[in-house]
Chain A
Amino acid sequence: MSGKNVLKRIDWLTILFFLLLVAIGWVNIYSSTFSGNEQSIFNFDTLYGKQFFFIGVSFAAIILILALESSFYERFSSVLYIISLVLLLGLFLFGKTIAGATSWYDLGFFNLQPSELAKVATALALAKYLSDIQTDIKRRKDQLYAFLIIFIPALLIVPQPDPGSAMVFFALVFVIFREGLPLYYLGIGLMAVLVFITTLMFGTTWVGVGLALLITVFLTVKKATFKVPLFPLASFFVIAIAFSLSVNFVFNNVFEQRHRDRFSLWLRLEKDPDKLEEIRKTIGYNTYQSEKAIESGGLFGKGFLEGTRTKGDFVPEQHTDYIFSTVGEEWGFLGTTTVVVLFTLLLLRLVYLAERQRSDFSRMYGYGVISILFIHYFINIGMVIGVLPTIGIPLPFFSYGGSGLLGFTALLFIFLKLDANRLNEWL
């Protein structure tokens, strides 16, 4: 496999989306960290200068990734997985604490965040395990092992504490679904989330009434063709109600006030204007400010470097997790829509690429990439525009941060390398 071949067969459309996102991201990092006096973009004292450097490093990494033999990734996936687990464990001893989370290694010129590496490694390891000829995902035991591969790094990341990053790993469940995990797992999960939310919003009584109504509708529709499955329905109803009650219990007795506040903010449970005002100044400050910044952008935005709230640093963490609010304020609805559309196109393109793989490993890894990118994109933008609770994870290719950019780039380009090599696979 020569380098020439790779460049010929690599999917340039994906690279175009990638480059666009990185470029738009950097422009917005520039804007949100711009201090007013012109400085060279190569000045590494500025955050945009640093990010520019990271982009350069990522490009170097891309060359390295593409230069390596594609079978390397499959062969060394287990090793990479073990290394990343060791690195995660090592954080407990040698980790550097930034903003309360012990998530970094201090390498002097650069803080390395092993959880970013772990995302790549876990995606690889999961693909490797599932594509193994001896693995049958219909078997409970294999299902368990697959879940374990996902859960172990997540469990190591939770106590850093970095629950946001840990959550990302659960997105890899999509890979297992793709490979044949029965869909009712997903159904149960969705149902649980639905009951959880509706219980908080309307209370157990209304959840019960709603479920009873649903079941009645189901029965009247299905009666003609099926024998009525009374027992499963009844047990479903009882379990749902029990879950709903436990939600109330957990919410009121196990959750801490800050968790409750986050949920009440998200589900708009608080109606008292005074308390709302209070929430806006405390727990909901970030969300409120970022929503306001996006809203003030209007249709066309205020223009590059003209975002008053961006300039005034009203949105905390704007260059990292809240970078999307800069897009909203300075580029308006047109800008935000462009970014959302770019992400959607990138993800759909990746699904298309994954589905055309001949090798199971490549396809499964592709799904892993999609899952991880998607969950970041979904949770981050959802949080910034105020439709999801506050969970601090970065927007891929956009947010400021070297480890993140490097991690996402590696994640994506390993897959592109595999894709470019798909014709050489003989399986």
Chain B
Amino acid sequence: MKKILLSSIIIIIGVMFIGRLSYLQIFSFSPDQVLEDPAIKPIYDYPERGYIYDRNGELLVGNDPAYDVMVIPREVEPLDTLEFCNLLGIDKEKFVEKLRKARIYSPRLPSVLVPQLSKEDYAMLQEKMRKYEGFYIQKRSLRYYDTPSAANVLGYISEVNERDLAKNPYYAQGELTGRTGVEKQYDEVLRGRKGVQYIQKDRFNRDIGRYKGGILDTLPEQGKEIHISIDKLLQEYGERLMHGKRGGIVAIEPASGEILSMISGPTYDPALLVGRERSKNYSKLHYDTISKPLFDRSISFEKEPGSPFKTLNALAALQEGVINPMTKVRCYNGFYVGRNKKGCHCGGGLRNLNSGIYKSCNAYFADTFRKIFDKFPTTDEGMDVWEKHMRSFGLGGYLGSDIYTGRPGRIPNKAFYDKWYGDNRWTASYIISNAIGQGEVAATPLQLANMAAAIANRGFYYTPHVLKKVEGKDITNPKFVEPKHTTIDRKHFDEVIRGMADVYKKGTAKWIQVPGIEIAGKTGTVENFTLIDSVKTQLTDNSVFVAFAPVDQPKIAIAVYIENGYYGGRYAGHIASLMIEKYLKGEITRKDLEKRMLEKTLEHEYAKPYSGEEFKINEYVW
């Protein structure tokens, strides 16, 4: 026993050590230790973010150098504080406080003392910087906007947060990422790929050379420049037209699905969200809960589409064979649902498809809508067919565009009404409002513009998108270059389009004809309600206009939705006609109309619900 005691202890301890070592080095070992190793610090080399151009090659977004004054507290030598503060343009207390914070953060590592100096300040400071030990200037790159418009399309970039970090391992603390719009959707294309250098550090965090002589280091990959389909001039013009008005304008090139302009009113200058004042400006925009400038009405504002929706009901009825262009309906200045009479503004009389559209006859379309349902033995079947046709125009669901946010709109289905009324407890009459684009249907301006493009193309559309070229090459994404077909046959479109063209020639929009351009359009006047102190209150109608031009070989399809703009031909119609003229002709012939649209605002309408007083709606004066 006593002879083998020590030997056995030696062996047991040896085995124990090997066990512990295998636990440490084999079981606890993780191979991606380069990132966890405190001795290796990656230093990133950020490539310049890609530029964004419009469809004609005009610069929209570039980069601007910015200069941060940095400090390494440990290296600071006694200095003439007052002179230095004057140079930096900050007061002494702030300087002392910043220096103290920097020292608390780390005496050895650089901290930002004054962020984002202007070029002028930088030029002044640069000369004298040598005098101040421990301070230096670091160049950074900020987004520069060559346009005051398109903030909602372009989006903005900001520092990554915890969630981004958890979601995407590419990012490190303090990096920038696209937040909305194109900057977000095409972030990976624009940002390029950062280069990395692994630096070997000692325990005081001092550099002691390259890790493994730099074999793991990578070079940065430049961000790619992109062309987006937005027309800079049209976008800027549209935003000027939206001055003082709330709503959205979306214009699409029907032949490609490219979005020519996407305007939300009110909007903001994208340059507000760059630079030193960024957070202050953002708060201001964010907390404007009345006009909501950050709310992109062009894609997120889903409301009843109004009369333009009648064209779809006409197409569905033609496709189902329940009407033909000669089918006539009498309008009694309204129509009856049971014993209730619903009004109509068309003037009354016998209507066919053509006059039904250009006079926007409610009675005609209520009857057409009912005919679709009457074709089928049950309302449910009729509903399914109707829903299928409506959805084929990209309504009632996300379009799948490359705009990051947005709303799906709504096309009600039988489940929707079953829930509302009960199974088999409703008929077409219950939901007759949908015939004229009121009631439960809802669409965003983007969807309405897409609907116009589908009609303009006589039965198909391309998913709307804003990306046109990457590095000068046209996009090939099948999602955007392959047509989506509607469920309506091509032959049915001609009669409906003739009706829409007659809207301009002799119908509800005859006052806003554009000389030399043949336009097909449809006005809409949408009743709308709000709650004021919990009381349902009607506000001035929303003004809607959907159009495309020229009628043959359309180049632009447009939807304009102006909140409280009253009837469709008033604000929306005028703005649409100006937009079309601007895009097709490049200049405006109707100067006084343009002047009036640019100057007139609807602020008085928007103030009404907040006035606390009784107010009138739908006033004719303007």
Contacts and interface: CB of A to CB of B under 8 A. Distances in A.
Interface of A: 36, 174, 177-178, 180, 183, 291, 294-299, 306, 308-309, 311-314, 328, 332-333, 336-337, 340-341, 343-344, 347-348, 351, 355, 367, 370-371, 374, 378, 381-382, 385-387
A294 B24 contact: yes
A399 B52 CA distance: 62
22 contacts: A174-B5, A178-B3, A178-B5, A291-B24, A294-B21, A296-B29, A299-B29, A306-B212, A312-B203, A313-B203, A314-B38, A314-B202, A340-B14, A340-B21, A344-B10, A344-B14, A374-B10, A378-B13, A382-B17, A385-B24, A386-B20, A387-B17
B197 to A, nearest CB: 14
A343 B21 contact: no
Nearest to A180: B2
Contacts of A370: 6
Contact of A348 (B7, B25, B28, B40): B7
Nearest to B9: A374
Scoring A306, A308, A355, A386 by chain B CB atoms within 10 A of each residue's CB, the highest score goes to: A308
A299 B26 contact: yes
Nearest to A373: B10
A297 B29 CA distance: 8
A221 B62 CA distance: 88
A322 to B, nearest CB: 13
A378 to B, nearest CB: 6
Contacts of A387: 16-17, 20
Contacts of B5: 174, 177-178, 183
B6 A351 contact: yes
B21 A313 contact: no
B552 to A, nearest CB: 71
B548 to A, nearest CB: 64
Contact of B39 (A295, A311, A374): A311
Contact of A308 (B3, B9, B39): B39
Contacts of B208: 36, 311-312
B200 interface: yes
Contacts of B613: none
B20 to A, nearest CB: 5
Contact of A314 (B20, B39, B212): B39
B219 interface: no
Contacts of A347: 10
A295 B24 contact: yes
A333 B25 contact: yes
B533 interface: no
Interface residues of B, number: 36
B606 interface: no
A298 B10 contact: no
A177 B14 CA distance: 21
A379 to B, nearest CB: 10
A283 to B, nearest CB: 17
B122 interface: no
A337 B202 contact: no
Contacts of B17: 340, 381-382, 385, 387
Nearest to A378: B13
A374 B7 CA distance: 11
B11 A348 contact: yes
B39 A351 contact: no
Given A340-B18, A385-B24, 18 more contacts: A295-B24, A295-B28, A296-B33, A308-B39, A311-B39, A313-B202, A328-B25, A336-B25, A340-B21, A344-B10, A348-B10, A351-B7, A367-B6, A371-B6, A374-B9, A381-B17, A386-B20, A387-B20
Contacts of A296: 29, 33, 37
A333 B25 CA distance: 6
B211 interface: yes
Scoring A295, A306, A336, A370 by chain B CB atoms within 10 A of each residue's CB, the highest score goes to: A295
Contacts of B202: 311-314
B201 A312 contact: yes
Interface in B15-56: 16-18, 20-22, 24-26, 28-29, 31, 33, 37-40
A-B complex: 10 closest residue pairs judged by Cβ atoms:
A312-B39, A308-B39, A344-B14, A333-B25, A312-B202, A298-B29, A295-B24, A347-B10, A314-B203, A336-B21
B290 interface: no
Nearest to A315: B203
Nearest to B29: A298
A309 B17 CA distance: 22
Interface string B534-548: 000000000000000
A367 to B, nearest CB: 7
Contact of B14 (A174, A183, A341): A341
Contacts of A332: 25
B621 interface: no
A344 B212 contact: no
Nearest to B37: A308
B233 to A, nearest CB: 57
A36 B25 contact: no
Nearest to A289: B203
Contacts of B214: none
A340 B39 CA distance: 27
Scoring B10, B26, B201, B203 by chain A CB atoms within 10 A of each residue's CB, the highest score goes to: B10
A294 B7 contact: no
A311 B7 CA distance: 37
B1 interface: yes
B400 interface: no
B209 interface: yes
A318 to B, nearest CB: 11
Contacts of B11: 344, 348
A332 B9 CA distance: 25
A309 B39 contact: yes
A336 B23 CA distance: 12
B148 to A, nearest CB: 50
Interface in B379-428: none
A308 B24 contact: no
Contacts of A295: 24-25, 28-29
A333 B556 CA distance: 71
Contacts of A378: 13
A125 B11 CA distance: 28
A340 B12 CA distance: 12
A312 B26 CA distance: 23
Contact of A183 (B2, B24, B25): B2
A261 B227 CA distance: 63
B356 to A, nearest CB: 73
A387 B24 CA distance: 11
A369 to B, nearest CB: 11
A340 B40 CA distance: 29
Given A311-B208, A344-B10, A355 B21 contact: no
A332 B26 CA distance: 9
Contacts of B3: 178, 355
B441 to A, nearest CB: 55
A378 B211 CA distance: 34
B23 to A, nearest CB: 9
A177 B11 CA distance: 18
A347 to B, nearest CB: 5
B615 to A, nearest CB: 60
B39 A174 contact: no
A367 B28 CA distance: 37
B211 A308 contact: yes
A344 B28 CA distance: 25
A384 to B, nearest CB: 10
Contacts of B13: 344, 374, 378
Contacts of A312: 38-39, 200-203, 208
A314 B543 CA distance: 71
Contacts of A343: 14
B454 to A, nearest CB: 59
A295 B10 CA distance: 24
Contacts of B2: 177-178, 180, 183
Contacts of B1: 183
Scoring B14, B40, B202 by chain A CB atoms within 10 A of each residue's CB, the highest score goes to: B14
